[in-house]
Amino acid sequence: MGTTAHHQQQHQQKQQQRGGKVQQGGQKKRGLAGPATPSPSSSLSECCQLDRAHMAPASTKSAKRKAAEALLAASSPTAVEQAQQPHVQVAACAADCSHSLANGWCHTQVRLPHVDWGHVLEAELGGVPSFKLAPGYERIELPGGLQVLVVENAAYIGNALGALRASMQDPVVAIDLEWRPEFGRRFTPVAMVQLASSSVAVLIRTCRMSYKLPAVLKDFLKDPSISLLGFGWAASDEGKMQSTFGVGCKDFGRFLDLQAVAQGLGYCGFGLARLTRAVLGLALPKSKKVSMSNWELAQLSRAQVKYAALDVLVAGQVFRALRLWHSSPSLCEVCHYDLARVSSSSCSAGGGSSASGYMCSCGKGFRDIRGYLQHCERADHKPKWAECGGCGCARRLPWPSGMAKGQAGGGGSSRSSSEEGAE
């Protein structure tokens, strides 16, 4: 996992030097905010029981129906094993640790699972185990003990959300939406709601539920003990959520936007794929062909399931990795700025930019560092900021290391937009 794995090891060493150990159980540290997490050793059988109201009487059940219910009621060994694996626990920050764009982002403890995300991202879903739990309800097992639950029948949403809750090692649940592409003025409602803890993704196909949010899902979204984590939510998801279901992020119990969190740490204008590369050092598959596909198909392709599940699973991992960096300050080996230090400016740590973005000496402003650098190159203006080739953040020049744009060796310390295309 590159830099993140290094920070996990460094974080553990610091805790041991203080006389403590990385906690692997479900107990909270004294003084940490947030709800208690489920005991990792507890069975998931309770959350895997079917809602009795939706079960047929025993006398009318076929052998096939009984077999399906027995499979659904059984606990998931992979989920139990995942819960028992060691996690790196990141403590909550003090209440006075603030973020101008995402206040409270670091005020609850989080846990990072030990997962080979490179293996997960490369996995072909056609070759992984999958189980038809019931009509309109499927479980797919990814490498590293990760799971994807695809729900097309509203009767099983409660069961899927129960499994999601049981898997939660911290309050963070990533959320995303998918809908059929719009052409012209045609409106298309939300076809799917994606939710994910650190190990379980739930894909709820609302297009198979008359484009309505079942009451049990509404209650989940409104739960104040859960921190829902979106990405660039205001750009389009919020409008779609409101126009389709009549609810928005103001109706959620708690809500954070990962793009806003990242922006305050120096990753201004980053999409999820670009942010994943900068933080995890991995390439997140973001195929335009899949993202613009028909999400209302009677049967989703495996490529669609993988795309939708990874969007929320990886977003949560990136957030937790940024929390780890923030809790264990260290300097970037290239620009020598503190990693994940919150700045008072809106677009960069280390005094990287103004509140409106990156302002050129000619008075022209840019929201994205690459657009700013491209302009400076074309206009032959001396840039005030550069994109660090180490941490990926936009940093004000000169850097504390004394390395200005283009002066460092070892593969280069900074990047311009002409060196690497936008992601």
68-107 confidence digits (pLDDT tens): 555 555 434 444 454 455 689 999 998 888 787 788 899 9
Per-residue model confidence as pLDDT tens digits over 245-287 = 999 999 999 999 999 999 888 888 889 999 999 999 999 988 8
CA distance readout (Å), 266 to 258, 278, 395, 421: 13, 11, 8, 18
Looking at every residue in the chain, the average pLDDT score rounds to: 78
Residues 316 and 421 in one domain: no
Among 282, 304, 327, where does a domain finish?
327
Residues 100 and 245 in one domain: yes
State the average pLDDT over residues 55-65.
Answer: 48
Residues 271 and 210 in one domain: yes
- CATH number of the domain enclosing 12: 3.30.420.10
Residue 397 binned pLDDT confidence (cut-offs 50, 70, 90)? confident
pLDDT at residue 48 is higher than 70: no
pLDDT of residue 356: 52
State the average pLDDT over residues 178-190.
Answer: 89
pLDDT at residue 302 is higher than 90: yes
**Residue range(s) defining the domain that contains residue 422:** 330-423
Q: Which residue has the tokens 């993140």?
A: 4
Among 294, 327, 360, where does a domain finish?
327
What is the count of structural domains for the chain?
Answer: 2
* Separation of alpha carbons 391 and 389, rounded Å: 6
Residues 338 and 414 in one domain: yes
Residues 14 and 133 in one domain: yes
What predicted TM-score, i.e. pTM, was given to this entire model? 0.76
227-230 vs 172-179, strand pairing mode? parallel
pLDDT of residue 189: 96
Rounded (10°) angle between helices 77-84 and 157-167: 30
